[in-house]
Structures are given as structure tokens and as C-alpha cells.
Structure 1
Amino acid sequence: MNWTPRRRDLLKLGLGTALLSGLRPAWSADEDSAPIRVLDLDWVDRARDRAVPVRLYLPGRDAPVALMVFSHGLFGTRLGYSYLGRHVAEHGIASLHLQHVGSDRGIWNTNVLTRLGNVLQAVRDSEATARALDLRFALDRLLAEPALGERIDAGRIVAAGHSYGANTTLLATGAHVVRSGKALSLRDDRLRGALLLSAPPFYGDADLSPILGPVQVPSLHVTNTEDTIDIPGYRSPVTDRLAVFDAIGSTQKALAVFHGGGHSVFTDRTGPGGAELNARIKEATRTLTLAFLDGLFRDGRPSAAALEPWRMRHANTLARFDLRAG
């Protein structure tokens, strides 16, 4: 994919003079939600000669806010998962959505004769590594931005992702992967937790314990009973998501399995699973994310006090819920 990076003025993007001057917005911290800014930034990692476009959902709060860094699945873009990014931002948590140019929608929007080859390239170890480096670069860049970095609480940052993005999140939070006799060093110690939507196993590795045991940050795992990944040359059933949950090393983790749905229900698409179930799963995922982050940022772990009321509210949608906060 050929990407021409563009510099954009923060004022043009709607960041506004209120943000640049530190002017307090007209809302109270006691409100359930708040106005947000949506910023598209076309960054380039010069060291790797790789574009890293991002979309930032920024709460309109004056004090520094927590941050979720979100990585899309195969064929995604920075525009996706807006239902989740907007929601957490409306509740005071910034959400930075990355676009990984080696595995984004551009590899699908090509000649049908070259599409399979593009897909196979996109799931190579080199691209998996590049995606984790995209996350590190984007976090470095955001925190260094004079008008934006001061808005982020660097002590409250989590990684999140769907499908391939969950794989990226695991690499960035400590997954131990050895390739050609060399361990990949991709962990980012700034990340305090992981939100994993439809996490796939690591390709070619039957035993996940040595790989995921080193992931010690609190984690939230979300999937559904019909969550099957099916792409050319690769198929992964929902049992793989459960195996990731079991193998991850942290003793502070939670798992939610919804009835039905399908793998794409966690994207912005409204069709998978049917309109009614799709909407229910998305609403449950939004509120579950907030409940998980509430406990994580307050107590450093998933909170039964926050998650048990959520479980009771969504009992009819849940096939399984497992909380381990030891």
C-alpha cells in the first residue's frame, strides 16, 4: 500500500483553542459522559520508514486522562472500533487507534490475483513485529506531542486490540516469542493492562504457556461462542481464545464469552450475529471495558465490585464469565 503522509494543523482537526490554552471545558467530572475531540494524525516512523496513521479520541477534560492504545485486526484501519473508542473517551479515557499499513484494508483492496499473497505477507512474523513497534512508536510520539502528551497520564496506559490486534497487544505486554533462535523483545513497560478481543493463538506454537506465561499485566479476554477466525489458509476456533486465557501468566484476569456473535461482531459492522444481538454484544463490551479499566486504574487489578454487577446485568447474553483476581 502506498501511503502519502500529511501534516495537519491541530486547529483544523478541531483540537481547538480551548485545548491548546488549557481552558477548562464546560462540564463536570460528575457527569456520566463528556464531549470529546476526534483527531486524525498522519505520523511516520522515520527510523523504520513506515507510516503510522492514528485516530485519537480525546476526552474534553482538563486534567490528565488514562489512555487505551487500540490495534485493529487484519484488514482494519484507524477508523474502526469507533463504538469502543468513542465510548471510553466519553467516560474520561483517551483512545488511540493505530493503523498498521502492512496488514490494513489496503492489502485487501488490491487485484484479486495478488490478494492471497498480500494476506500471507501480512501474517508473517515480520509484520507481527512491525505492528508491535507501531504501538511503541505511536505511544512515544503521542507522549512527546506538546499539545497532547500533557493530556495523558503516563501511569495509566493499557493496550487493546481485536484479533490480530490482540496478538499485537500480547507482544507489547510481554509475550515471549522465539524465532530463528532469537527472542523477540517487544514488551513495553508503560502498559499496565491488556484488553484482548478475539485473541488468536501464536501461529505454529502448540504450547502457549512458555509464550504467554510472561504476560503478567492484568488482562480482560472477550470472545463469543461462534468466534471462529477463517481467512485464506488459516482457521482458528473459539477454543483457541479460551486457550489464550488459560495460558496467560497473570493471576489477575477476566474472561467473558457471549452467546453467538461471530468473529466480526467486535468490529464496527452491525450485521454479524444479527442486528439485535450485535447491538447487545457491543453494549456489553463497552460497559465491560469500562468496568475492567475502573478496577485496574483504581486498584491495579480487575475488580469484583465493578465486574459482578456487570455480569448480572448481562447474564442473558453471557455463555461464560470467569474472574481471577488472586
Structure 2
Amino acid sequence: MSQSTVLPAAASTSTPAPVVSVSPVVLSAPGRGEDLQVRVSAPATGRELPIMVFAHGFGASCNSYAPLVNFWAAHGFVVIQPTFLDSKTLGLSPEDSRTPSIWRFRVEDMKRSLDGLDLIEASVPGLQGRLDRSRVAAAGHSYGAQTTGMLLGARVLDSGGFPGKDMSDPRIKVGVLLSATGRGGEDLTPFAAEHFPFMNPSFAEMTTPALVVAGDQDDSPLSVRGPDWFTDAYTLSPEDKCLVTFFGAEHMLGGISGDLVTETTDENPERVAWVQRLTWAYLRSALYPGDPAWSAACAALMDSPKPLGRVEWK
């Protein structure tokens, strides 16, 4: 059964810790064409720290999404950000033989980031021995949300409509999908159907718990549907899912990719503050059963006379 509540203006969380960031940490990547560069951000204090691997959107890099990454790290997560082959910083040619398979390389890069935890620990001053490898989350925005969804169990349908290879990772216990693209097939524009055949997901197998975050003004040129396309990862997946829909939000959800960046068309620091708080609270309670962060956030939402959005769960 689906339930819902309402978002108010932003609320505070605990006092943030200083953050240490190191970039690039270079991980060996045989068969990729070049080694994988990641950025690692961690709180300067604390032990048994949970881990998050974050997937950037198309064209971005490991140095993007500072508003989210810095917040998560300041509140206890070690955040690992791989730079994928589609990043503008790498300048991969559309004619490169790897281009049609970038979506696969992305999933492999997320897994490779977790495979490289020993090197990552050794590369960040003061991080050695402070990771809790039993508590791992994945998050991503836009193209990165599709990448993350596959790690949670989503599949890509083939031309016959059958689910492709299972690329999920059992190390990942929970996920956050920000502005995740929806169903393919007839829901895509002709351009998207021709150029992005991998954009044809099945969410029926996405059994790992997840929070889906969408904007009700996110009208994509890739789909013939409206903003509800970005809620498919919630509505078409099994239970143990939550959905946050922000009112007035477009694809960048108020500016999560950075401060004053040109791709943000709906700049709203208050909305970004809520994305920060809700994603952190959800992950805390999912990774630490009994932690009141998510229930406290939901309780705070119900008291607002000016809601910024809506939360649902099933």
C-alpha cells in the first residue's frame, strides 16, 4: 500500500564534520582503454564509516555534484566518485569503439570502485581502517541514476523485450536514484530510440531498497511523456521503495550538480538543502535499522504550511 506525506521548507541536521577530498585516485582498469580516475571525499573524524559510490550524469566528472557529495561526506559517508568514459574531461570521440558500450563500462566502473577499496583507503590520508565495508550505498543522477539502478537489479530489455544480463552487485544494500529516466519503447522520442537503445529498462527486477527523487517540472526531450516518466523507477519496481517528488523542480533539482552552474534552470538552494537532507536521512535509516533519521525527517515534513514536495513509499 502506498502512503504519502508533505515536504516543508528546509530543516537542519547534525553539525557537519570537516571533509578531506583526494582526486584523482587512479584504479587499474584492464580492457577499459585507460585507467579509472575517482575522487574520494571522507569526514576527517569518525570510524566504521559507511560507503557510497556515486554515478555522475552524462558529460560530468568525479569533480561534479559538490553540494551533495560534500554534505554526505560531512555527515559521515565516504563518497567515491568515478569519472566515466562519457565525461567531457576525457573527450572520447563518438566514433570510438567503446562509445556504444559506455553504459556497460559505467556499471563496471562503479563495481571497480568498490573492488579498489584497499587502494582507496591507502590513498586518502587518515582513512586507513575507518571504512565499514558491510554498509555500502549507491547513488546517481540522470544517466548516473540508470547506472545505479542496474546495480540495484534493473535490467536493459533487448529488442525482443526480454531482460538482459543481471549486473546487480550484492555489496550494495540501498540506492538513491535522482532524476532517473523511465521506460523505453514507445515512451521514447524517435531520436532517443535510435541513439540510446540501452534506454529501455525493466524495473521489475530492481529489488534492492531505493529512494527515487523526481521533479514535477522535469519535461525531458528524450520522452514523449511528461515529468511522470521520471517516477517509473518507483512505480514499476517492487516494494521497499520511496519516492520524493519536488514541486517546481526540473532535471537538476534546484542545482545539485554545483553552485551557479549553467545547466541548472531551476536554481533553488532551499530545494537542494532538502535533497541533501532527505537522501542522507533515507540512507542512514536504511543502512542502520532503527536509526530515526528518516522517520524524523518525515515527521518534520508533515508540519509545513508551505510544502516543497511530496513523499510516498510502498
TM-score (norm 1): 0.75
Structure 2 residues not aligned, in runs of 5+: 1-13, 189-198
Q: Tell me which of the two structures has the higher relative contact order, counting C-alpha pairs closer than 8 angstroms and 6 or more residues apart.
A: 2
Matched, 1:129 2:104: yes
Matched, 1:150 2:129: yes
Closer, same or farther in 2 for the Cα pair 1:313/1:188, shift >3 Å?
farther
Separation (CA, whole Å) in 1 of partners of 2:128 and 2:202: 32
Letter of the 1:225 counterpart: D
Closer, same or farther in 2 for the Cα pair 1:199/1:32, shift >3 Å?
same
Which of residues 226, 229, 250 is equivalent to 2:217?
226
How far does the alpha carbon of each residue in 1:168-206 deviate from its partner, in whole angstroms, 9 at most, with x for none?
001111113344778323111100011000000254486
Separation (CA, whole Å) in 1 of partners of 2:106 and 2:205: 19
SS at the partner of 1:266?
coil
Contact 1:64 1:152 in 2 (8 A): yes
Separation (CA, whole Å) in 2 of partners of 1:308 and 1:138: 32
Give the superposition deviation at 1:162. 0.2
Closer, same or farther in 2 for the Cα pair 1:284/1:315, shift >3 Å?
farther
Separation (CA, whole Å) in 1 of partners of 2:225 and 2:274: 24
Which of residues 201, 214, 220 is equivalent to 2:182?
201
SS at the partner of 2:154?
coil
Matched, 1:191 2:172: yes
Letter of the 1:239 counterpart: D
Structure 1 residues not aligned, in runs of 5+: 1-30
Matched, 1:261 2:261: no
1:96-111 residue pairs with structure 2 within 5 A? Answer: 96-101=80-85, 103-106=86-89
Closer, same or farther in 2 for the Cα pair 1:33/1:266, shift >3 Å?
closer
Matched, 1:161 2:140: yes
Closer, same or farther in 2 for the Cα pair 1:313/1:91, shift >3 Å?
farther
Closer, same or farther in 2 for the Cα pair 1:164/1:226, shift >3 Å?
same
Closer, same or farther in 2 for the Cα pair 1:178/1:50, shift >3 Å?
farther
Matched, 1:56 2:40: yes
Give the superposition deviation at 1:263. 0.9
Give the superposition deviation at 1:235. 6.6
Closer, same or farther in 2 for the Cα pair 1:189/1:229, shift >3 Å?
same
Give the superposition deviation at 1:323. 2.1
Q: Which one has a larger percent helix, Structure 1 or Structure 2?
A: 1
Contact 2:154 2:203 in 1 (8 A): yes
How far does the alpha carbon of each residue in 1:239-287 deviate from its partner, in whole angstroms, 9 at most, with x for none?
11122210112x2111111111321233215363554xx2011100000
What is the number of equivalent residue pairs in this alignment?
Answer: 281
Tell me the residue number matched to 1:320: 310
Tell me the residue number matched to 1:12: none
Give the superposition deviation at 1:214. 1.5
Contact 1:296 1:302 in 2 (8 A): no
Letter of the 1:42 counterpart: V
SS at the partner of 2:176?
strand
Separation (CA, whole Å) in 2 of partners of 1:193 and 1:141: 20
Tell me the residue number matched to 1:246: 235
Letter of the 1:163 counterpart: S
Contact 2:179 2:214 in 1 (8 A): yes
Contact 1:52 1:98 in 2 (8 A): yes
Letter of the 1:175 counterpart: A
CA RMSD of aligned residues (A): 3.3
Give the superposition deviation at 1:87. 0.5
Q: Tell which deviates more after alignment, 203-212 or 313-322.
A: 203-212
Contact 2:53 2:79 in 1 (8 A): yes
Give the superposition deviation at 1:317. 4.6
Letter of the 2:269 counterpart: A
TM-score (norm 2): 0.78
SS at the partner of 2:202?
helix
Contact 2:185 2:200 in 1 (8 A): no
Contact 1:42 1:51 in 2 (8 A): yes
Closer, same or farther in 2 for the Cα pair 1:182/1:92, shift >3 Å?
closer
